[in-house]
Amino acid sequence: MKLNVAIVGRPNVGKSTLFNRLVGKKLALVDDRPGVTRDRRESEVQLGDLHINIIDTAGLEVAEEDALETRMRLQTEEAIGMADVVLFMMDARAGTTPMDEHFAAMVRKAGKPTILLANKSEGKASDAGYYEAFSLGLGEPMPLSAEHGIGMADLYEELVKYD
Ligand code: GDP
Ligand code: MG
């Protein structure tokens, strides 16, 4: 059995960085066909004895600015719908923003098992943001640095509980 895991959150928190780290390579963000932009990326990954299907949500590669919010919301809803477990990511260096709260509300409403990731948690600059993350109502945040590979073993330990 394969566990569907969706990475969701506002733009720029580090979702694709985590996706690439889990997949172990950089996958193309944009479809080869001209004018076609792929918002959602999926890849099957073997983590130890855990077999997951990881889903990244992009949303930023949209030409028309006004379509962005709708597009991101639909895409995030779709990814949450597919997920057995949701990885909700926030940026602990930036703290929580209204957009984080907006996405967190969508995740809470879905009622799926959710792991709250406080990304960019390398160094002290993330301390205040880490504590702010509690206010998202998604449980205790897990510190992570997708870029530096910190917290990956803890993430695995959490995911394996849902297998
Ligand atoms: P996405 O829009 O949520 O997919 O975010 P990206 O993965 O594209 O990352 C947005 C920016 O955050 C990039 O400049 C990344 O290099 C940076 N970033 C991602 N993870 C980390 C991290 O753990 N620490 C720091 N300091 N920067 C990170
Ligand atoms: Mg991305």
Q: Is the ipTM of this complex over 0.95?
A: yes
How far apart are the CA of 151 and the centre of ligand 1, in A?
15
**Alpha-carbon distance 77 to 103, whole Å?**
10
DSSP string, 39-84: -EEEEEEEETTEEEEEEEE-----SSGGGHHHHHHHHHHHHHHH-S
Considering the four listed CATH numbers 2.30.110.10, 3.40.50.300, 3.40.309.10, 3.40.50.2000, the one that applies to the domain covering 3-160 is 3.40.50.300
Per-residue pLDDT of the chain (163 residues), as tens digits, is 789 999 999 888 999 889 989 988 655 443 444 444 455 688 899 888 899 999 988 754 445 555 667 777 788 888 999 999 999 999 999 999 998 998 999 999 999 999 999 999 999 999 999 999 999 999 999 999 999 999 999 999 999 999 8
Q: Tell me the residues surrounding ligand 2 (ion) with CB < 5 Å.
A: 15-16, 58
As a whole number of angstroms, the longest Cα–Cα distance in the chain is 44
**pLDDT in the model for residue 34:** 45
Distance 14 CA to ligand 1 centre (A): 3
- Closest-CA residue to 16 (of 65, 63, 66, 59): 59
Domains of the chain by residue range: 3-160
Q: Which ligand is nearest to the CA of 38?
A: 2
